[in-house]
Structure 1
Amino acid sequence: MLRVALTGPESTGKTTLSRLLAAHYHTAWAPEFARTYLETRGPRYTLADLEAIAHGQLAAEEAAAAHAHRVVFCDTDLLVIKIWSEHAFGHCPEWILRRIAQQQYDLVLLLDVDLPWEPDPLREHPTHRQHFYDLYHKELSSQVSNFAEISGPPARRLEQACYLVDELLADESRAVPAAVGRPLA
């Protein structure tokens, strides 16, 4: 099962693109757990809330993967929790940092801030999106993650993402038949 995470600052189209990709590839996607969590508890959160959100996001990813076909799309990842935790509380819980280091996505799509801000009671920083984008980019670069930047209007974003996912699926398809039918040593 290939895993593709969508990450980036607020109001960059992660949810929309996750849904579109899942529909395009006839597969499952894991919604952003933080949205559901904060809609029921209110927009204020503590470090303990961020930890609960991290656990919920991991569970949502596993549940989506159990119903996915070939690829699962994750609307956000633990990197979001790390960046928000460090911003809001000055540090991130160690277990989240360890989990990020262990977590393997086949592809991470970093969504650019070139879409207009859409106000939402759960969004916090309309004027700091570039700052946060730069943090995501730095983190992904330092992790040597297989990531790509996605930008432009929504139709262009879907086109870019599909191209990258198609390449990923083609690479996987080429790798599998090479082992099939080989005599055992």
Structure 2
Amino acid sequence: MSVRRIAVLGAESSGKSTLCTALARRYDTAWVPEYLREFVDTHARVPFEADQIGIARTQRAREDAAAAQANAFLFCDTTPLMTALYSRVYWGRVDPALERLAATHDYALTLVTAPDTPWIPDGLMRESEEVRQQVFAMLVDELDARGVRFVLVEGDLPHRLRQVEAALKVLKPL
């Protein structure tokens, strides 16, 4: 069975995981959590620059594994593109191997969560409202520069779910 991968991108604390969980439940399918959270919990630290490519590769490998269990859609809470974007934020550059992986942004649909939910600090994983807004602006610019069409999802969870449902209905049949 063919599965459509749906990228769910956005800055920190913008509701990606909440949206993915709800979408997976709504469409009775799998979703791929953000590996970075597990990395931070396991290592009890934020990543170093050299960790970024491994994080992105693990994220993509987990997508590949989850695709076998998905029904019609696979909702992906972040992608290597976001890892590359955060590399640019924190280190001012992107490792060439990470850039190549990020360039394979081959999703049936890309959703961007607006930073319009309350910003909530989350230990090592959260920066600030200012960084959240900066990353959101960079993400939109990056997607535009790459020619990646996306749907901006805004508002509370029920409103976001309705926006995604409408976007999924217009996808071309497999």
TM-score of the pair, normalised by structure 1:
0.88
SS at match of 2:155: coil
Paired with 2:55 and 2:98, the residues of 1 have a C-alpha distance of 11
Report the alpha carbon displacement of residue 55 of structure 1 after superposing the two structures with TM: 1.3
SS at match of 1:102: coil
Root-mean-square deviation over aligned CA pairs: 1.2
Aligned pairs for 1:30-45 (under 5 A) are 30-45=32-47
Paired with 1:139 and 1:71, the residues of 2 have a C-alpha distance of 24
Counterpart position of 1:100: 102
Q: Deviations over 1:76-113 (max 9, x none)?
A: 11121111111111111111211222230111101111
Note if 1:77 corresponds to 2:84. no
1:13 is matched by which residue type in structure 2? Answer: G
Counterpart position of 1:183: none
SS at match of 1:105: coil
Q: Deviations over 1:127-146 (max 9, x none)?
A: 22221111000111111113
Paired with 1:103 and 1:83, the residues of 2 have a C-alpha distance of 13
Change over 3 Å in CA distance of 1:114–1:47 after alignment to 2: same
Paired with 2:47 and 2:166, the residues of 1 have a C-alpha distance of 37
Task: State whether residues 106 and 146 of structure 1, in contact with CA within 8 Å, keep that contact through their aligned partners in structure 2.
Answer: no
Counterpart position of 1:66: 68
Structure 1: 4+ residue segments shifted above 4 A: none
Unpaired segments ≥5 residues, structure 2: none
1:140 equivalent among 139, 143, 147: 143
Paired with 1:43 and 1:160, the residues of 2 have a C-alpha distance of 35
Task: State whether residues 52 and 98 of structure 2, in contact with CA within 8 Å, keep that contact through their aligned partners in structure 1.
Answer: no
Note if 1:159 corresponds to 2:162. yes
Paired with 1:102 and 1:10, the residues of 2 have a C-alpha distance of 22
Paired with 1:83 and 1:65, the residues of 2 have a C-alpha distance of 24
TM-score of the pair, normalised by structure 2:
0.93
Paired with 1:47 and 1:128, the residues of 2 have a C-alpha distance of 18
Unpaired segments ≥5 residues, structure 1: 177-185
2:120 is matched by which residue type in structure 1? Answer: E
SS at match of 2:103: helix
